[in-house]
Amino acid sequence: MEDRPRRLIAITPEDPVELEGDKISALLNAGWFRVHLRHPGASRNEIRRIIESIPQELHSRIVLHGHFDLINEFNLGGLHLNRRCPSAPRQYNGALSRSCHSIPELADCPPGMYKYVTLSPVFDSISKSSYPSAFSREQLLMLDRVATPVIALGGISPDNISQLSPYNFSGYAMLGAIPWSASPDDIFNFANKYKRFSIC
């Protein structure tokens, strides 16, 4: 498969970081497709403050991993379902994405239900030392049969993105490779180097 532009997604670290709103803004201003706001231990007010620190014109590219009711307060880009938060609020009809960890789980996704799903761990995780790669080449080639767009997750870094070119991924999600402790300017410079992988 040719090396074509794909959607590049950032996932925030487990704990909030200093100047997080500015860093999220830097990623999006550099051309990344989405930022997933993932802080499993954060309070609703902490998540709200992070969103409020991001310019409103970027809110539609923010995806929530928890405190889903905040979708009613902000014009956000959608909700991401996972084992911790497996279902959307009743009557929610906006964009959804979902975490998957096997090829059969991908195949079970109803056509058209999700904008995209993440598949992990594709490589050994950077952020979780006990989370090794779970897929063979033969398994990843089966993505050609999956109708829902699939985002590669787990150990994705600028050094190995090119290794995914043979497979039918619609994009990549980075977490551990992003220098979240760096300044917003440094985050922008990091993100700007890889925006060629991203489409909006």
Q: How confident is the model at residue 119 (pLDDT cuts 50, 70, 90)?
A: very high
pLDDT for 73 equals 95
Asked whether the predicted pLDDT for residue 28 surpasses 60, the reply is yes
pLDDT for 44 equals 96
pLDDT for 2 equals 46
Using alpha carbons, select from 144, 196, 151 the residue that is nearest to residue 171.
Answer: 151
The DSSP string of the chain is: ------EEEEE--SS--TTHHHHHHHHHHTT-SEEEE--TT--HHHHHHHHHTS-GGGGGGEEESS-GGGGGTS--SEEEE-SSS-SPPTT--S-EEEEE-SHHHHHTSPTTS-SEEEE--SS--SS-TT------HHHHHGGGG--S-EEE-SS--TTTGGGGTTS--SEEEESTTS-TTS-HHHHHHHHHHTGGG---
pLDDT for 4 equals 55
How far is the first Cα of the chain from the last one, in angstroms, to the nearest whole number?
Answer: 21
Q: How confident is the model at residue 129 (pLDDT cuts 50, 70, 90)?
A: low
pLDDT for 133 equals 87
Average the pLDDT over 27-36 and give the result. 95
pLDDT for 83 equals 92
Question: What percent of the chain has pLDDT above 70?
Answer: 92
Taking only the tens place, the pLDDT of each residue in 139-198 is 999 999 999 999 999 999 888 888 988 999 999 999 999 999 999 999 999 998 876 555
Instruction: Say how many CA atoms lie within 13 Å of 195 toward its Cβ.
Output: 15
Asked whether the predicted pLDDT for residue 1 surpasses 80, the reply is no
Distance CA 29, CA 20 (A): 14
pLDDT for 200 equals 47
Asked whether the predicted pLDDT for residue 67 surpasses 90, the reply is yes
**pTM (global) more than 0.85:** yes
Q: How confident is the model at residue 23 (pLDDT cuts 50, 70, 90)?
A: very high
